[in-house]
Chain A
Amino acid sequence: MAIVLRLDRVMADRKMSLNELADRVGISNVNLSNIKTGKISAIRFSTLNAICSTLKCQPGDIFEYVDEGQNG
């Protein structure tokens, strides 16, 4: 997957823990571990809206495109 979730960087900048973000956004514990283990393959706009609203950031701040050809 070339799209990488950089949520941890934005959370570190805002000094917010994953549990606190999950409580505010309404993410389940299952999705919490899925974020950590990289098993997320899609995100709802409503969840993205809640994350950006909570972290006061732009969608582009939490996503990064990594060209897999350059990594190979």
Chain B
Amino acid sequence: MSDTLTKLNKMSRYGGWAMKVALAVMIVAATAAPIALAATYAFPDILNDIDPPVVIGELRATLAALTAAAVIGAAISYYIVRMFENIRRHNTPFREEVVEDLRLVAKLLIVFTFAVPIVGWIAAWLADVSAESIFEFNLLTLFAAFLVYLLSLIFSYGTELQKEADETL
């Protein structure tokens, strides 16, 4: 195995561990946020005693948006973990499975860009508070989606070259 592939395998292992930690954090957040949101409905009087005072409507909207962000973030983390495991298993990054995982991450980043502020706006509307200053579309995640999709195209071409190399005696 070449030095580059050895380094790639090592980095994929470390990257996989880091993303598994991120996945665990996202799962915890995706579990805790809706529980906290439910608690604001179950125990609204507790929030009234907090100093400085908390605007319950804004808190509920924020927790709703955080839930959406954590769920989508967990899905993104899962596919990145899977991508690293595929790279390590097959000793090459140029596989259809890796390309597919990159495309899924790009799609999820687009979903993240629009879903999180929309969920926040809906939750704020239901709570009868203004959300314009809290939630807005993050164009950075949209740009990240574009970059990841571009990366998937590069890897797709690499997969074709890998196939040609594998079939060459």
Contact = CB atoms under 8 A, between A and B. Distances in A.
Interface residues of B, number: 5
B3 interface: no
Contacts of A39: 167
A41 interface: yes
A34 interface: yes
A31 B169 CA distance: 6
Contacts of A2: none
Interface stretch (A12-20, A42-50, A53-61, A64-72): A42-50
A34 B166 CA distance: 9
Contacts of A44: 168-169
B166 A43 contact: no
B45 interface: no
B51 interface: no
A35 B169 contact: yes
